[in-house]
Structure formats: C-alpha cells, structure tokens
Amino acid sequence: MDILAKMPYGKDFLLVDKIQDVNDELIKGSYKFSLDASFYKDHFPGNPITPGVFLIESAAQIGLVAFGIYLLRNKLNENQSGKPKIAFTSSEIDFLQPALQGEEIFVEAQKIYFRFQKLKVSFKIRNAADQILATGKLAGMFNTNYKSNE
C-alpha cells in the first residue's frame, strides 16, 4: 500500500516526505522544511525558526494520518480512489528546542491504542543531529465510510 498516495492533503500542505518504517506498533517518517518557505521571513525575523504549528502538523500527518492509514489497510478498499477522513481530537505537546530554518525533522510515533477507529500515539520529533525537538501525544478519529471525490 502506498500510504502517501492515500494521504488527504494536496502537495502544498503535505508535510511528509518519506515513511522510513511502519508496523502495527510504530511509524517513523521525515519531512524537510524548505529553506525559502514564506513563513520564515516573518517568524522571528533575523533568527527564523520553524513555527510550532508546522511541527505539530507534520507529527500529526506522520503519527496519526499515515499511521492510521497503515493500521486501517485491511478496511480500506484498495480499488477506491477516495481518501479516509480524519478528525484531530487532542494533543499534548512539549517543545524542547527550536527547529531551524530549512531543517529536516524525523517523527517517530508509537501506538498507545487503536480501537473503534480512534488512534492515540506518543511521539518524538528529532532533528538530523538526533536532538529531541518536541514530544507529546496526539489522537484522532478515522472515518472509512467515504465516497470518492474524484
């Protein structure tokens, strides 16, 4: 299954470049922020850092959406071109240090539980130097009763 092809985002909002590993208990993925992303100009001018909201979104896309798609692989109809819907339900985030302009981040999420199509994970975001940038928990609900929008 091509997980990234099932992601419910357009190319300009997909904050996942690669899934390095996935199984029934964990997922690992990465995303490299563009050096010239428009938000760097005004987010701490002169000392730009990646906004926390983008770190959370990347962690949610990898740790919830991509992981949920993998966990739901037997329920998803491979012949259907539609994409599952997800509702983000909760988050707990501790930011430990900033992600610098253009930095690649690595997200690892471990399943806490997955039942009744609700997924809860604990996650860590690291940089290329293996420093932990953020940790936390995320949860979301999936709806697989979808129709193709295409």
Is 114 part of a structural domain of the chain?
A: yes
Q: Which residues pair with 88 in a beta bridge?
A: 140
From the list 8, 26, 37, 43, the catalytic residue is 43
Query: 29-33, 83-87, 88-92: which has the highest mean pLDDT?
Result: 29-33
Determine whether 2 is an active site residue.
Answer: no
What is the domain count for the chain? 1
43 is in which domain, residue-wise? 3-143
Determine the pLDDT at residue 82: 62
**Residue 99, both tokens:** 């992600």
- The pLDDT tens digits for 105-118 are 999 999 999 998 89
Is 150 part of a structural domain of the chain?
A: no
Q: What is the pTM of this model?
A: 0.90
Q: What is the CATH number of the domain that holds 121?
A: 3.10.129.10
Three-state DSSP string of 51-100: CHHHHHHHHHHHHHHHHHHHHCCCCCCCCCCCCCEEEEEEEEEEECCCCE
